[in-house]
Every structure is written in structure tokens, then in C-alpha cells.
Chains A and B, each alone.
Chain A
């Protein structure tokens, strides 16, 4: 077999193994929660003032557990779970939104998260790294040091604090309206997408506004060091134009930053609870939060399954793509 094919197969097998380990750990963790869906359901009924006898409670609990498939021994539950995911592709019903299917719930929320977070991570990566390289090479030292100080000052502040402060500043100090979208009747997928973009625009703004710091600081440091590298100095002495030298610095500095981009993109499948909660945005993070609060094992597993797969795929892509963008990294058997 060609060593390259062997390598790719090995990497794919490894990715599958990672996914299996990941979902198994998720399964175990979900079952370790100190409460389950049936108990939550009953305690809620009691809280609403329904009077139930002990016997009724026990019966109801048994029924619910049976309905959710939680009455079987844990090892059987695990076997069913694996069979469903690996073979039939079924993810079972959600407990909290019973009897909706987990797949349908995720399918509805995922496009929202992907639209927002994919745009946010790509744009903030581009903005951060672009600004970083410009700041490292510009003659206007003052501007670049102002940018750097802003980035360093804001980077350690948690996003929740920044986002809330920004909201307060935007609404109460600047008194500007939040660009939203009224839900009009939507007929085509294209209209749906436009509607989604309009809903996403404000959280996107905030995400990009506070999301470029990391890329900026990293890129500036790398590019500053790259500028002193022997081959850059040699190219300068060879008579390379400023433009060629800048491009060379950019091209060489971007390599380590590529990892953050791909891993950032893989994170869009987990959604962002914080952003979606603060901006009331119907994404995956929002659903994950309610799944955890309601001990909705199936929904939880479904979401984390996607997240695990996305991360494993991102790592696989990185491994396969790096030799294409950096000749110093080679596939096995490539000499």
C-alpha cells in the first residue's frame, strides 16, 4: 500500500477512536449527574401543586424511566446508545422536549450556531492576524503600540463581562437600537438565511470586537521575530521590495496561527452558551444549557457527539493539510 494512503487511513482510524473515547466519556459523565429526568419531572409536578401519593410517584417514575429507556441496566443502555449512534444513526427522543427527536432539535439549532460562530471565528482570526502583521511592520509605532495595549488589557477579561458592558454602553450610553429582525413569514431557505444573518449581526459584531485580541497579540509577536530572521534580512539585502518582504513575513508567520483557525472553527459545533444566552440567540449552546438543566441525556449526548466529531475532524484536517502549506512537514514516505 502507498505510505500516504496508509497514513491517511491510520489518521482516520485514530479520529474514529477519539470520537468513540469522547462519546463514551460523555455517556459516563451524563449518567453521573446527581438527578435524572424522571425525578426532575415529578419534582416539577409537585412544585406546581399536584398532590400525589407515594405510590403514584413511584409508578410515575417507573413509567417515565421505561419510556425514556432508563430502566435498563447502565451497560445495556450504553450498548443501545452505541448501536444507535454507530449503526442506525438514531439519537433517540429528547426528554425535555418529549417526544421531539434529538436530531430534529439539533438540526434546527445548528445552522444558527454555525452561521454566527463560523463568521465570528473566521472574521476575528482575519482581523486579528491581519492587524497583527500590519502592527509589526508599520512605521507608525504609536498606533501599533496603542492597539497592542488595548489587546493586552482586554484579553484577560471574560467575554461575559465585556459583552454585558458593551451592551450597557451601546444601549444606555449611546442609546442606539439593536439591529434585529422581525419574524416575517419565511418561504424560501434563502430568506431564512437572510433572516438568520440579520439576527446574527449584532452578536457577531460583539464577538469580532472582542475576539481579535488573541490572534493580534500572537501574530504581532511572531511577525516581529520573523522580521529579524536571517532569510528575511538576506532577502532585503538581495534587493527584495518592501512588498515582497512583507508578504514573505506574512506567509511565514501565518503557519502557527493556522492551528487556531481550524480549532476555532471546530468549536462552532458546541455553540456558545454565553453569547447565545446574552443575545437570546437560538443556537446550540442555548439548547445544551437546557439539556443539562433538565438532565436530558439524549440531547446532551447528541450535542456533545457533534462537538467531538467536529474536533476530531478538525485535528484530522490539520494533520492532512499542514504538509501542503509547510514543506518542512512531510507525509510519511514522502522523503
Chain B
């Protein structure tokens, strides 16, 4: 298992100009380091507004204002084996060399993710065109048909317009589009948020099967811990722009270390458990003005003095496991 994406001390956010000069900086990604290996699923979990989608956009390289990267690097190992620094490439280079062929993106399911004026087959043909691929039309049609069958979609879909499909069908088409060139890395940003649990399982299984067959890597972003439990090899827990804990999925569920991870996992429904689920009091912090020290301290039941003053370092606990919390530094 080699490393194919290395994110090093990535720091950035949204720079918003209010009334001309005054600048507000939303510090959505704060000093994040991550590694994605080949043939693995890395989950990113956290509540709404914790910066997980922003992180995904940065890794994908869609850095357009107001989104800015202030420091840090994202390195990608290409098919040839050499590393490129994604945040040094221009959008035009990303578009031609990286997007869809190396890294692909599955967006959140939404009603109008597909151009309403184009038939499904044209949506596929367009993606070929965007990447200057001249392929035989017959061949493309056959390919689309095979893809639709593998997604258990009826063949009539090929000539349908997006509005004629149900939400679940549309999301399956979107997934097929994203996996069109068999990319080595797929970033899925809440791929199942707007569909019901049955469709959710179908879609997740599709992605899972495809990934296992192609030995690609997947970064899966979801607020839903049960989705992570079903899909991931490793999971990173994000809180207010920080990755507070990373671990192998089974270990993390068995023994959550960070108080936030613990609260997340305790909120899950367990079979046979009839006790009332406890919520975590308080609200996620305002990212334009995050609290000093550990960003979680205002809501943390174990908050100590040092938490309010200093940012906790990453404490490595065995292979693939680290936590950013003063409780585990031995200094507390």
C-alpha cells in the first residue's frame, strides 16, 4: 500500500470581503495533515460546517476564490509514479491532467446536478469531449449501455432527460459519470445525503463494489457514522477545521479516544440499548473567530486549563492512530 495523496499542514479557508476593504476570514481548514493510500477508503466525519467539504474541495484542487489555501501542500502520486504538488497547478492544468482521469468527484445528491437540457447519453458524451477524447460513437453508446446495466438502471434512461429520473436513479447516473475513466482516486462528498436509506445502501454498495474491483482509493465525506462503519478502512474525525482523531475504523469505534469522537459514537443507536441518547451541549464554534487553544474546549466535559491556552499536538498511538487532545499527551 503506497501513499498516493499526502496532505501536509494544509491551512486555508474562505476570504470574504465585506463592503470593499474589510476582510473576514473563515478558517475552515486548520493545519490538516492526511495520507491516502492506494486501495483504501478514508472517511472524513464531522458535523455540518466543520470544514470537511472544504477540505475535499482543496484536495480535489477546485481552489477558486473565495476559497484560498494559505499554507501547506497537497502531493499526488501520478500513474507514472512521480509526485505533483496539486496546489501549485493552475486550474487549467488540473482540468486537463488531473480531474476525472486521476481524481474524480462525486458531488452531493441534488435535484439539478445534471444539465436539464441534455439527455443522459449526451451527459456522458460531453465528459468525453471535455477531456478531448475522440471515441467512436457506437463504442460510447455500447459503453454507456454496459455501465447502465451494471448500475441496474433500465436502458431507457439513456435517452431520458434528468427530470424524468428519480433522485436515486439520478445519483446512480452521477456516480457512473464520476467513475467513467476509472480514476485512481474518488472523492465522494456526502454521496447519499438526500436519498432514503434503501437507496443509500444501493448506492454505497455500488461504490464499494466498483472500488474493490478497480483497487482505487476513496475519500468518503459524510456526517453519518453508520455510513463510515459500512464503508471505511480508516476514518478521520473533523471538528471545526481540525482533524482531531484518525484511526482504523474498527479500533476507532471500539475505543474512541477524543471526547468529540466519543460523543459522536455514543450518539449512535445500538441494538438492544434502550437508554436515551445524549446530545453534545453547545454549538460548533464560529470559524471566523475560533476559540483559542483546543477548538473543542468550550464543549468538552474534560476541559483543562491547558486546553484553553494551547493547541494540542498530535499524539501518535500505534500505527495509523493519532489523536489531538491534551488528555493523551502525558502533560495534562
Q: Is the CB of B117 within 8 A of A234?
A: no
Establish whether residues B116 and A328, one from each chain, have CB atoms under 8 Å apart when the complex forms. yes
Q: Is A156 an interface residue (CB 8 A)?
A: no
Task: Enumerate chain B residues within 8 angstroms of A248, measured Cβ to Cβ.
Answer: 115
Query: When the two chains form their complex, are residues A241 and B112 in contact, meaning their CB atoms are under 8 A apart?
Result: no
B115 near A240 (CB under 8 angstroms)? no
B62 touches A326 (CB 8 A): no
Q: Is B60 an interface residue (CB 8 A)?
A: yes
* Residues of chain A contacted by B163 (CB below 8 angstroms): 327-328
The listed residue (A229, A239, A326) touching B112 by CB distance below 8 A is A229
The answer to whether B130 touches A241 (Cβ under 8 A) is yes
Q: Determine the main DSSP class of A at the interface with B.
A: helix
**Interface pick from B10-18, B93-101, B202-210:** B93-101
Is A237 interfacial (CB 8 A cutoff)? Answer: yes
Q: Is B153 an interface residue (CB 8 A)?
A: no
CA–CA, A238 and B117, complex, Å = 17
CA distance A327 to B159 in the complex (A): 12
Q: Does B161 contact A (CB under 8 A)?
A: yes
Does chain A have a CB within 8 A of B49? no
The distance from the CB of B97 to the nearest CB of chain A, in whole angstroms, is 10
Option from B100, B112, B129 in Cβ contact (under 8 Å) with A231? B112
One of B99, B116, B119 near A239 (C-beta < 8 A): B99
Q: Are A239 and B126 in contact (CB under 8 A)?
A: no
A140 to B18, CA, bound (A): 20
Which residues 180-237 in B have Cβ within 8 Å of A in the complex? none
**B322 CB to nearest A CB, Å:** 31
**B95–A231 touching, CB < 8 Å:** no
- Which residues of A have CB within 8 Å of B177? 238
Q: Does A244 contact B (CB under 8 A)?
A: yes
Q: Which residues of B contact A326 (CB under 8 A)?
A: 117
Interface bits A92-134 vs B (CB < 8 Å: 1, else 0)? 0000000000000000000000000000000000000000000
A238-B161 contact, Cβ under 8 Å, with A231-B112, A327-B117: no
Query: Contact at B161–A240, with CB atoms within 8 Å?
Result: no
Evaluate contact between A238 and B100: CB separation under 8 angstroms.
yes
Check: A28 CB closer than 8 A to any chain B CB: no
- Which residues on the A side are within 8 Å of B107 (C-beta)? 230, 233-234, 237
Cβ of B114 under 8 Å from chain A: yes
A252 contacts partner chain B, Cβ-Cβ < 8 Å: yes
B131 at the interface (CB under 8 A from A): yes
A234→B115 CA distance, assembly (Å)? 9
Bound-complex Cα distance A252 to B114 (A): 12
Residues of A within 8 A of B95 (CB): 239, 241
Question: With a CB–CB cut-off of 8 A, which chain A residues contact B60?
Answer: 237
Contacts of B117 in A (CB 8 A): 251-252, 326-327
Q: Residue B90 at the A interface, CB < 8 A?
A: no
A234 to B110, CA, bound (A): 11
At the interface, yes or no: B89 with Cβ under 8 Å from chain A? no
Give chain B residues whose Cβ lies under 8 Å from the Cβ of A238.
Answer: 99-100, 126-127, 130, 177
Count: A-B pairs, CB below 8 Å: 59
Interface range on chain A: under 10, 10 to 19, 20 to 34, or 35 or more?
Answer: 10 to 19
B105 CB within 8 Å of chain A = yes
User: Quick check: A231 and B130 within 8 Å, CB to CB?
Assistant: no
Query: When chains A and B are docked, how far (Å) is the Cα of A212 from the Cα of B286?
Result: 45
Picked from A235, A237, A239, the residue with its CB within 8 Å of the CB of B96 is A239
Shortest beta-carbon distance, A141 to chain B, in Å? 12
Q: Contact at A231–B62, with CB atoms within 8 Å?
A: no
Chain B min CB distance to A331 (Å):
14
User: Any chain A CB within 8 A of the CB of B155?
Assistant: no
Contact A231 B113 (CB under 8 A): yes
Q: Which of A229, A239, A251, A328 has the most CB of B within 10 A?
A: A239
Please, what's the 1-or-0 string for A12-39, where 1 marks a CB less than 8 Å from any CB in chain B? 0000000000000000000000000000
Most chain-A CB neighbours within 10 Å: which of B96, B110, B119?
Answer: B110
Q: Do A230 and B110 have beta carbons less than 8 Å apart?
A: yes
User: Is B100 a contact of A239 with CB atoms below 8 Å?
Assistant: yes
Determine the residue in chain B with the shortest Cβ distance to A255: B117
* Chain B residue with Cβ nearest A236: B62
- Closest CB in chain A relative to B173 CB, distance in Å: 12
Q: Which of A136-168 contact B (CB under 8 A)?
A: none
Could you tell me if A244 and B161 are in contact, using CB atoms closer than 8 angstroms?
A: no
- Judge whether B116 and A234 touch: CB under 8 Å: no
The chain B residue with its CB closest to the CB of A235 is B115
Instruction: Provide the B126-149 mask, 1 if CB < 8 A to any CB of A, else 0.
Output: 110111000000000000000000
Of chain A, the residue at the smallest CB distance from B61 is A237
- Kindly state the separation between the CA atoms of A248 and B122 in the bound complex, as whole angstroms: 13
Contact B112 A230 (CB under 8 A): yes
Q: How far is the CA of A238 from the CA of B114 in the complex (A)?
A: 11
- What residues on B are CB-neighbors of A252 within 8 Å? 115-117
Q: 11 A-B residue contacts at CB 8 Å?
A: A231-B115, A234-B113, A234-B174, A235-B130, A237-B62, A238-B177, A239-B96, A244-B129, A252-B116, A327-B117, A328-B161
Extra inter-chain contacts (12) besides given A230-B107, A230-B110, A239-B131, CB under 8 Å = A230-B111, A230-B113, A233-B107, A234-B113, A236-B62, A237-B62, A237-B99, A238-B177, A240-B130, A241-B95, A241-B130, A327-B163
The 9 closest A-B pairs by CB, nearest first: A239-B99, A239-B95, A327-B161, A239-B130, A240-B130, A231-B115, A230-B113, A230-B110, A237-B105
A residues sitting closer than 8 Å to B (CB atoms) are: 229-231, 233-241, 244, 248, 251-252, 326-328
